Structure 1
């Protein structure tokens, strides 16, 4: 098959737009050839399970899934009962970008909590849980937090510890949407387990796709939820028959330090990108704590610049005369990519 896209096109639309890291691609090739048991009975899936148990703790269990949305749906089903609801950030992917997947598959009501820069406050969790303690409402079964958040910010370890404590005191389980958990861990100088299960988090959607994988996601839970997890993967349509190819990607990322190297590269590129955006004359609107940069631009500047270097408008009604845009750096973003975009943005701002 011939190449159908232009490999020279670079942009900041999403880390989903990047290809696979060469080491991940090599791992898939290495897993190919011959016959092995299907549906997770292969040696790569067994090795991954042991690797994840080492990272997240001996009292954890895991399952390989196909998509980030699927990981969230499976994890939150494992934590909740049919009559319970889920609390989420008002910026959460599970609220805005999963087509109501949790509601559709699990039947769980999702309630959005107010945030500052995408971060949930424990006091709002407590208020929402107590308000739902009513026969006329759906009681809260789980809180889902995104780390790093949809706005490129990160919860500190102390913030997460407080949210877990408050939630557990109220009888609420805690899930972390870790589509970009690697980026948050690098930003905070810690590991994925230290940032989640070691703090008492009950379930984690562990993302690999945005960090150099191709289709690489997993769910990690405390052992108490292990049976539910494994029973839910297949009926939630997240079970791959040739699981070895998904597991091989995650093993390449999390079996060693590749996850750290890829996330470090993306985070570093984002910091450089924020400097380039500011130097071009635009205002960076959010703290840059992972691999995303948010900035304020005039609508016509955003439109023209995005036509030259792809990125997305995040909030078309951000402020009078301005939109807020999101720029996402990837593991393969180069200094030349950042410099070229800075020049494009400066030209479009000057010509506005």
Structure 2
């Protein structure tokens, strides 16, 4: 067996606490479709973090979480503004546009982050029946390039959106990594800045399966249960998703796991940037490292330790660390890089 890969945090295993929670919830009978004590407990756990005035819906996966989030705020004649690199644009097979009927208006960025100036480029034709009507701004936190929005950056975008009768969605597949990086409270970069709805990641941060959709704008979420059912995201045995969330939210395990993966990425970046033929292309603020390396060495390195090529034209690669990445994993991969690239 070669060196453990750096392909994705989806490659990682499951936190022991999650296994234990699944085992404990597996015995006996419980009501289905979320009418069980485990789901009630997990919702209460989220309210401990974000406050009582939220609605929480559990779903199977990240694409389902994003579709459910965006479906609640859009009609088929609306548009969703997002970064060109956004997961909803690049990696969800057109699911958002198919399921919501809304058009994605994409914005080129250098670091994956939107700002008001970039968003302004799509703020046209309001009230014109010949054009789609922008209704939602979708932000990814952390971005697909591993960068993190600050509280002030988020608030500026949310204030701008609300001033134009628009909403803000946060794709928080890696929101734990952003919070760990910023050292802030979870509510301070979500609810308190004006985020209307967030897809809250679990699978990339130590869970076996399952995500949550958290509505901070509860005026919109009252009929979301019907949308979730139509989207086939209502798990009959919801307790198995809910029990995992209670496990990772307990004692800030989700933040500790994210902080560890962030630290491993920083260690890897520090080692890689000492190699003359490696050029880091983004600030390492979360658990991902982006780098340009010699094109003719990529396949050999991948054979020894799998990772993805991010931009084939630029020979840019992505290395992702997880909650179970070890110091030894970093040392072995750094040694491999030095061996092949120096």
Residues matched between the structures, number:
340
Look up the SS of the partner of 1:193 in the other structure. helix
Which residue does 1:234 correspond to in 2?
229
Which residue does 2:308 correspond to in 1?
312
Give the CA deviation at 1:133: 4.9
Give the CA deviation at 1:22: 0.7
Give the CA deviation at 1:81: 2.2
Do residues 348 (structure 1) and 323 (structure 2) align? Answer: no
Task: Decide which of 285, 292, 298 is 2:288's aligned counterpart.
Answer: 292
Give the CA deviation at 1:262: 0.3
Which residue does 2:242 correspond to in 1?
247
CA deviation profile, 1:125-184 (whole Å, cap 9, x unmatched): 233122555321110110100000000000000000000001111111000000000000
Give the CA deviation at 1:25: 1.1
2 CA distance for matches of 1:36 and 1:82? Answer: 38
Give the CA deviation at 1:263: 0.3
8 Å Cα contact 1:115/1:121 also seen in 2? no
Gaps of 5+ in 1: 1-5
2 CA distance for matches of 1:240 and 1:163? Answer: 34
For residues 142-221 of structure 1, the aligned pairs below 5 Å read: 142-221=136-215
Give the CA deviation at 1:36: 0.3
Gaps of 5+ in 2: none
CA deviation profile, 1:262-296 (whole Å, cap 9, x unmatched): 00110000000101211233111100000000000
Moved more, 248-257 or 262-271: 248-257
For residues 1-352 of structure 1, the aligned pairs below 5 Å read: 10-131=4-125, 133-221=127-215, 222-281=217-276, 282-318=278-314, 323-350=315-342
8 Å Cα contact 1:13/1:311 also seen in 2? yes
Give the CA deviation at 1:301: 1.2
CA deviation profile, 1:221-280 (whole Å, cap 9, x unmatched): 121122132221111111111110111111111243101110011000000010121123
Which residue does 1:3 correspond to in 2?
none
Change beyond 3 A, Cα 1:184–1:126: same
**TM-score, normalised on structure 2?**
0.96
CA deviation profile, 1:290-320 (whole Å, cap 9, x unmatched): 00000001112111111101100000112xx
Look up the SS of the partner of 1:143 in the other structure. strand
Instruction: Say what the alpha-carbon RMSD is for the aligned residues.
Output: 1.3
8 Å Cα contact 2:3/2:332 also seen in 1? no
Change beyond 3 A, Cα 1:210–1:345: same
8 Å Cα contact 2:142/2:175 also seen in 1? yes
